Amino acid sequence: MSLTYPWFLLGLLALAVPIVIHLFELRRPKRVLFSNTGFIREVKLVTARQRKVKHLLVLLVRLGFIVFLVLVFCQPFLPAPQKNRNSNSVKVLVDTSPSMQVQGEEEQTAFDQVVEQARDLTTVYPASTYFELVNKPHRRLTESAYRTSLEQLGISGHTASLQTTLARLVETGVRQEGQIYIFSDFQKNDFSPQFITGFDTTQQVFLVPVVGKEGKNVYVDSLMLDDAFVRVDADLSIKIRVHNGGNVAANNCQVRLFIGERQAAAFQTSVEAGASTATTVQVRLTGRDLQRCRVEIEDFPVTFDNTYYFTLQPAPQIRIAELASDKAATQRLYANEPMFSYTLGKPNSVDYRALTAANLVLIQELPRIETSLRENLQQAVQRGATLVIVPPADATGRQSYNTLFHDLGLGTVQWEPSLTDKPSLRDLASPNLQNPFFREVFARQNRPAVMPKAAPVLHWSRSGIDVLHMRDGEAYLAGFPSGKGKVYLFSAPFDERYSSFTNHALFVPVMYRLAMQSFRNDQQPAYRLNQRTVALAIDGSETAGRAERVFKLTKDSLTFIPVQRIQAGELRFDVPPEMQAPGFYQLSRNGRMVATLAFNFDKRESNLAHYSAQELRAMIGNRSNMRVYDASAGTSVASQYRAERVGTPLWRYCLWGALACLLAEVLLLRFGGRRQTAAQQPIANAA
């Protein structure tokens, strides 16, 4: 045992006072006068030995009272087993990610337990200590301000992952001495053991894991559409993949799909712990307006991820602009389909406005490419359009095509030597069904199909996307990335002398696939709240003449103005940190709605597998500057820190001892030495 203030031991000199009182008995005898013995009602028989024992006991309790009172001022304590390094600054990291909403062992959420544990830290540090919340960095807080800041913390979907926060903490604090407390559930998919080695040995790091109850947690892992082109009044298959991030199997879990306020599908599913299952549902969109959709899962007690928000935007008509000298083979193909907006132009009357707005530009056997046309084609591809080139059989305009190929970045394309006689047709190889270009295009066939023939006038050594080949391995149709768009190149003309491709059954699905892939929807069905940047393609009319206006995000009565920038017709904005709740947010500018965006929690938060206190201790090993405090052990973190590094204070026990001595003295003086009252004897009156 050690004393905090040993100089108070001089107070033990006061022990002489009760000893002097005991030795000199400063009480004066009291004289009682009476005239008759009949007035004596009771006789106390007290011997000299009994009186001596009573006085000694009173003396001992008085001495004990003084001794314990002096020790209270000396503040004795049991020394801590580990030496504490004094620090006037303490950093505290409180995990505010959505996974902290899991119910703990004491019928409160893990986040509430963490806040309570972090608040009690002020009881073990001197009043001169400054606290700093890593959640609100660069602020040194006093004890009262620190408690207030803790009460203001809340669960946020925008919170950076624990891995990111620790990386920033290690980077900024590696040269600073001090103590760091990390309160978290330490999810396995969010915490890496490598960050333990990142802290400097001069820093004392205390890991405080908070463990929730065992249970199930079913959440939406992903949604997949069978076709990126969402059609109106047509069946749309949506594959809903759910995952159980808990450690208990979920049986007969109810899942419902809503399109707007209408329930479009419902089913039950059972998911084992740590496993996934997928279910395909059929829905139908009845309007061209954007649809707010959500998937609701009936899952308890973990409820923060029971709703998944997403949007479905029916695709507009795909704009196709074709330039051809003669009657094009694709005119009837595209013009009779409602989902295509098809225009056909001639080389001498090019509609450059339609060319600029087109998703797919088809150049079919033009004799030559004029300079103005070449520049507009290059701009369209740079903007993101798809360009399909069918080369001509005539060799007079090949130099203009070479210039176009060079401007588009197709440097490996070369022409075959011109032949005056009839070209030799060769067979195409069967398409590779594993090629993503032909995904879900063909049904399985038991026998090989008869393929078309072609006589290539172009060849190239390499490409970005291989679609069709000749049987000898030479390319027939391939794609090349260029700018934000793609360029697809046929090696042979569509002329019947050079190809039978337009008369083959393969012609329709290939040309349809080229058109479908030219459509690009930059808006994703759903975003994450902790996603740093969102990019959206906006109409040019949104920027013209409104430079002083800003884009805003609105949800109910909340309005956020994100950090934003516009470049090349694309809006990029940072998700505001104040956006903490999932749901639908409207993006507007100057009071006009531009888009509706769906935001959800990061699905990694729904995987509740975490490191236990024992596993964290095994990771730490023999590092003396790191310690794991188990918050679920029944003892607060402050008590564990005090017992290990501050010591166990004993002044409370000394105070109780002084009060016990005082009570013992009262009892001795009140009841000590009393004997049974002698039976009263009748006294005869004298005659």
Cβ atoms of 592 and 539 closer than 8 Å: no
pLDDT for position 156: 85
Cβ atoms of 638 and 193 closer than 8 Å: no
Residue 685: which pLDDT band, with cuts at 50, 70 and 90?
very low
Q: Quick one: which of 185, 165, 163 has its CA closest to 98?
A: 185
Cβ neighbours of residue 414 under 8 Å, at least 6 residues apart?
Answer: 458, 459, 460
pLDDT for position 679: 45
pLDDT for position 170: 67
Question: How distant, in Å, are the alpha carbons of 3, 121, 151, 183, 625 from that of 154?
Answer: 42, 19, 8, 14, 30
Cβ atoms of 520 and 384 closer than 8 Å: yes
**Over 90: is that where the pLDDT of 265 sits?**
yes
Segment among 233-247, 329-343, 472-486 with least mean pLDDT: 329-343
Residue 357: which pLDDT band, with cuts at 50, 70 and 90?
confident
Cβ atoms of 281 and 265 closer than 8 Å: yes
Mean pLDDT of all residues belonging to the chain: 83
Cβ atoms of 185 and 209 closer than 8 Å: yes
C-alpha dihedral, 52 to 54 to 56 to 57, nearest 10°: 160
* C-alpha triplet 410, 415, 421: angle, nearest 5°: 160
d(CA 576, CA 587): 13
Residue 649's Cβ-count burial label (10 Å; 0-12, 13-18, 19+) is middle
Q: Quick one: which of 353, 368, 258 has its CA closest to 311?
A: 258
pLDDT for position 541: 55
**Over 80: is that where the pLDDT of 25 sits?**
no
Segment among 100-109, 254-263, 499-508 with least mean pLDDT: 100-109
Question: How distant, in Å, are the alpha carbons of 313, 442, 504 from that of 332?
Answer: 28, 22, 15
Could you tell me what percent of the chain has a pLDDT over 90? Answer: 32
Mean pLDDT of 464-488: 91
Residue 567: which pLDDT band, with cuts at 50, 70 and 90?
confident
Name the residue with higher pLDDT: 16 or 392: 392
d(CA 225, CA 526): 13
Residue 643's Cβ-count burial label (10 Å; 0-12, 13-18, 19+) is middle
pLDDT for position 596: 94
Mean pLDDT of 143-172: 80
Residue 255: which pLDDT band, with cuts at 50, 70 and 90?
very high
**Over 70: is that where the pLDDT of 645 sits?**
no
> CB count, 10 Å around CB of 650?
19
pLDDT digits (tens, 9 = 90+) for 576-594: 988 989 999 999 988 889 9
pLDDT for position 680: 46
Mean pLDDT of 447-474: 87
Residue with tokens 């009760």: 18
Give pTM, 2 decimals: 0.74
**Over 70: is that where the pLDDT of 27 sits?**
no
pLDDT for position 428: 93
Structural tokens at position 357: 């707005």
d(CA 131, CA 119): 11
pLDDT digits (tens, 9 = 90+) for 204-236: 889 999 877 778 999 999 999 887 778 888 889
pLDDT digits (tens, 9 = 90+) for 283-310: 998 888 899 999 999 988 888 999 999 9
pLDDT for position 85: 55
Could you tell me what percent of the chain has a pLDDT over 70? Answer: 85
